[in-house]
Every structure is written in C-alpha cells, then in structure tokens.
Structure 1
Amino acid sequence: MATILRFDGWRVVIYANDHRPPHVHVIGNDAEAVFRLNCPHGPPEPVRIAGLAHHALTQIRKRLESHTHLLCLHWSMIHDDT
C-alpha cells in the first residue's frame, strides 16, 4: 500500500496488488471510499462509499479532481503500466 496524498484527515492510497481499472482508496475519519480515476484525465468517480456524508464526498471528489494526473501517474508506476 502506498499513500499518495494526505489532506484534511484523509489518506489516499493505492494498493500494489489491486485490480484494474485504476482507482484509489480514500481512508480516514471512520469512513472509506473508492474512486475510479478514469485515467488519464478523469474525473474521478466514487464506486464505493462507506460512512461518508454528502459534503465530505463532494470535498474529496474536488481534491482528487485537482490531483488526477498525479494519481494516474502513481497508479501506472505502482502497477508497472507502460
């Protein structure tokens, strides 16, 4: 597991042995969400949500949108995509 980004008590991680399509896990504050990245340009979209209020989901999505390129790059490096 690689932590790619941290913000507002959230950790954005990519698991090395995880499946495609490219996605991230956002973990923290007693909640978790999985966002499909839609590489290379996004936008990230939630595919699984547990324990998140709507406003938190919106804030997380906006933050991921501003880092889509970085997240896709890290996914490719971790999963050795060429």
Structure 2
Amino acid sequence: MRIDGLRVVIWPNDHKPAHVHVKGAQGEAIFNLRCPGGPPELRESYGFRLTDLNRIVEALAAAIGALCEEWRTIHGNY
C-alpha cells in the first residue's frame, strides 16, 4: 500500500501486536492497527511532522479492514 508516495509495510518476520511501518524519504513511523476495527494508533515516529502523521493515520483508518486482513494472512491472529 502507498500513501502519497510513502510505503506501508507489514514485515513477514515481525511480531505482535498487528502493526505497519510507514516509510518515506522524510522518516519512518510505526502504527499499531488495533485490529480488527482500529483505529490505528501511532507507536513511534522518526522524522515525520504532525501534519504528515495526521494524514497517514486517516489513510490507515480508511484501509483498516484490508490492513488487518493482510496482517492475519501473513501472521495469523492479531
């Protein structure tokens, strides 16, 4: 998944709880998905401005069902 050029990644060898890494030239952030229904919650951020983080969390919230399903496909339970 991409959000305005940022990559949203679920690593196959990652750990619970269900979360995504959002990576871009300006930084990286990690959001707990809080599956199955969200809302996503910022866990860590390096380099992103608050306005960027707000835009990212809105996009993640809109895709929460698909992201949780992808996590479950890769890792099993949340």
TM-score by length of 2: 0.95
Aligned counterparts of 1:17 and 1:33: Cα–Cα separation in 2: 18
Number of residue pairs aligned between Structure 1 and Structure 2: 78
Aligned-partner SS, 1:32:
strand
- Segments of 4+ moved more than 6 angstroms: none
RMSD (Å) for aligned C-alpha atoms: 1.3
SS of alignment partner, residue 2 of structure 2 = strand
TM-score by length of 1: 0.90
Which protein has the bigger strand share? 1
Equivalent residue in structure 2 for 1:20, among 16, 32, 36: 16
Counterpart position of 1:67: 63
User: Which residue identity is paired with 1:48?
Assistant: E
**Amino acid paired to 1:41:** G
Structure 2: runs of 5+ lacking an equivalent = none
Distance 2:65 2:54 in 1: 19
| CA distance in 2: counterparts of 1:7 and 1:53, whole angstroms | 15
Amino acid at match of 1:7: I
21, 37, 42: which one pairs with 1:41?
37
CA distance in 2, matches of 1:29, 1:9: 9
